[in-house]
Amino acid sequence: MFTDFKTLAENLPCGLVIADKKLNIEFVNDFALKKILDLPGDTRPSNFGDYTFYTTDMRRFDMDNCMRSMVETGKRTFHKTLLVKSGNQEKLVYFSVNTFVRKGEKDLYLFNITDISDEMDCITHSPGTFGRGEYLIRKKIIGNDQKMQEIYRMISLAADSEVNVMIQGESGTGKELVADAIHELSERKNGPLVKVNCSAFSETLLESELFGHVKGSFTGAYKDKPGKFEMANGGTIFLDEIGEINQSIQVKLLRVIQEKTIERVGDNKSVKVDMRIIAATNKNLRGLIKKDIFREDLFYRLNVFNILMPSLRDRHLDIPLLADYFIEKINDQTGKNVKGLSRDALKLMMEYPWPGNIRELQNAIEHAFVLVNGNIIEVNDLPVELKNRTSSGPLPDTGRQNLSASLYYAESFRNRHSGRLTINREQLEGVLEMHDFNQTKTAEFLGISRVALWKKMKKFGM
Ligand SMILES: Nc1ncnc2c1ncn2[C@@H]1O[C@H](COP(=O)(O)OP(=O)(O)O)[C@@H](O)[C@H]1O
Ligand SMILES: [Mg+2]
């Protein structure tokens, strides 16, 4: 019987895992290992709980908790749509658990994990559905602000087309993340994504980096070398800090775009290349054009589709969300168990102008992790730029209600961890407004059921 089961299990086109209630794996089929739980290297955890799944709203799925509640309630099945990273892909899976109770033996749990990514692909961009593409973007690019919603929309549109994209925005606003997302969601996703930081090379080196060279074409060119354009063939090339390239390379770049061919330095043979260009800059290119530093014709060729990244201070309601995201991420990396920021620390973070944007915020949290004593980050754990701010000026462009809502955001993260939910009418209004009065989203955000939300609203006479 068991050999029959094995044959069956190995031939099913879905992942099967059998584990006990502590999640110790007793059986796992090949499909699960190779197609769904494909971790880098030879990592093969023997406990199923060591595989990380995410819920579709980007939170880590708590498998231990799921098991505990099944055991406690005696519930025999559980189903959920989850995300899992497999190899270098994200998969959307239908995850179900079934208990089999056996007399005189320990109960076992059968996990069935079916890859439904392709099914979701078909509806990714149809209006009104929350497709896989969006899951992917939102899992990595955090932000609820309206300005970020617009960025998500732009990413989908850019991914659906083949035109060149220009991403502008201050340093640390996530330009590179956006470029990654566009590539990953585009038809070229199986091709290479090649990145070049144009400010990192001298003139000659940048030229050979981009176009390649033949042996002996300049001192140091010991052998033939293909350039990044050739390497990006069939995929996408990301030209970061495009505002830094000099006039002679600008002319060459224009030619690449127009003729779709390149010549290696020192060679006169032209090579066909097929790639989509995504460029990024924190410079004001129109200003550079006025000063004759950047070619206008090149600008228009690159700027077919423009994405302007908002600075963090223009979407400061996302600060708690980002802080929470980085805390969870660093907890994962370090095995620490930081629960959140103290109210005062968060208030400081909300009021700080973040000139280095999200990169600076990430650094601040990393800094705090080094100093934190206990599991709440306090004002003293923050970098000196933040904690030494004496006057906390008014927050940019937001009304009182928004401020209250944003502080509520902050509180709610802490409350969620401790399981309390306290909210006043003004705060609830703020949170509802932030979710466009969508009750489902509001309830989800607050971590309560829709009925509970409805009861609260009724209590406040809303
Ligand atoms: N919306 C975001 N959500 C999560 N992390 C972000 C976000 N934007 C930026 N980051 C992180 O901040 C850092 C800087 O982002 P990056 O894309 O390199 O910015 P830029 O290219 O604009 O300077 C990276 O570590 C990136 O992962
Ligand atoms: Mg960058």
Integer CA distances (angstroms), 194 to 13, 80, 172, 176, 308, in order:
34, 36, 20, 12, 22
Query: Which 8-state DSSP code applies to residue 80?
Result: E
Dump pLDDT digits (tens) for 91-122.
888 899 999 887 788 889 999 999 887 665 43
For the residues 314-325, what does the mean pLDDT come to? 87
pLDDT of 29 higher than 70: yes
pLDDT value, residue 411? 55
Centre of ligand 2 from the C-alpha of residue 273, in Å: 25
Ligand nearest to the Cα of 362, by number: 1
pLDDT value, residue 307? 96
CA distance 202 to 2: 66
pLDDT value, residue 123? 33
pLDDT of 48 higher than 90: yes
CA distance 103 to 286: 76
**Residue 175 beta carbon below 6 angstroms from any ligand 1 atom:** yes
pLDDT value, residue 308? 96
Closest atom of ligand 1 to CA, residue 179? 17
Ligand nearest to the Cα of 169, by number: 1
CA distance 296 to 290: 9
Contact by Cβ (8 Å): 281, 243: yes
Centre of ligand 1 from the C-alpha of residue 169, in Å: 11
Centre of ligand 2 from the C-alpha of residue 204, in Å: 22
**Residue 143 beta carbon below 6 angstroms from any ligand 1 atom:** yes
Integer CA distances (angstroms), 295 to 207, 239, 288, 345, 419, in order:
17, 16, 8, 46, 57
Confidence grade of residue 58 (pLDDT, cut at 50, 70, 90): low
Strands 108-115 and 15-19 come out as: antiparallel
Dump pLDDT digits (tens) for 236-293.
999 999 999 999 999 999 999 999 999 998 888 899 999 999 999 999 999 999 999 9
Q: Model-level pTM? A: 0.65
Centre of ligand 1 from the C-alpha of residue 348, in Å: 21
Average pLDDT of the residues of the chain = 84
Closest atom of ligand 1 to CA, residue 318? 1
Closest atom of ligand 1 to CA, residue 361? 12
For 159-213, give the DSSP string: HHS-S-EEEE--TTSSHHHHHHHHHHHSGGGGS-EEEEEGGGS-HHHHHHHHHEE
**Residue 363 beta carbon below 6 angstroms from any ligand 1 atom:** no
Query: Who wins on pLDDT, 308 or 343?
Result: 308
Beta strands in 29-140 (DSSP E): 53-55, 77-86, 89-100, 108-115
Ligand nearest to the Cα of 172, by number: 1
Confidence grade of residue 144 (pLDDT, cut at 50, 70, 90): confident
**Residue 84 beta carbon below 6 angstroms from any ligand 1 atom:** no
Closest atom of ligand 1 to CA, residue 177? 17
**Residue 174 beta carbon below 6 angstroms from any ligand 1 atom:** yes
Q: Which of 141, 142, 176, 281 to mutate to test the pocket of ligand 1 (most atoms within 8 A of CB)?
A: 176
Ligand nearest to the Cα of 307, by number: 1
Cβ-based neighbours of 266, under 8 Å, separated by 6 or more: 213, 214, 215, 216, 217, 218, 221
* Domains within the chain, CATH numbers bracketed: 2-120 (3.30.450.20), 141-308 (3.40.50.300), 314-420 (1.10.8.60)
Q: Which residues pair with 117 in a beta bridge?
A: none
Going by alpha carbons, the residue nearest to atom 13 of ligand 1 is: 359
Closest atom of ligand 1 to CA, residue 173? 22
Going by alpha carbons, the residue nearest to atom 23 of ligand 1 is: 172
**Residue 176 beta carbon below 6 angstroms from any ligand 1 atom:** yes
Selection from 75-84, 158-167, 398-407, 419-428 with the highest mean pLDDT = 158-167
Confidence grade of residue 2 (pLDDT, cut at 50, 70, 90): low
**Residue 173 beta carbon below 6 angstroms from any ligand 1 atom:** yes
Q: Among the listed ranges 193-197, 364-368, 442-446, which one has the minimum average pLDDT value?
A: 442-446
Dump pLDDT digits (tens) for 380-418.
999 999 988 754 444 444 333 444 555 555 555 445 444
Closest atom of ligand 1 to CA, residue 170? 22
Confidence grade of residue 153 (pLDDT, cut at 50, 70, 90): confident
Going by alpha carbons, the residue nearest to atom 16 of ligand 1 is: 174
Contact by Cβ (8 Å): 25, 48: yes
Environment class of 459 (CB within 10 Å of its CB; exposed 0-12, middle 13-18, buried 19+): exposed
For the residues 353-378, what does the mean pLDDT come to? 95
pLDDT value, residue 160? 86
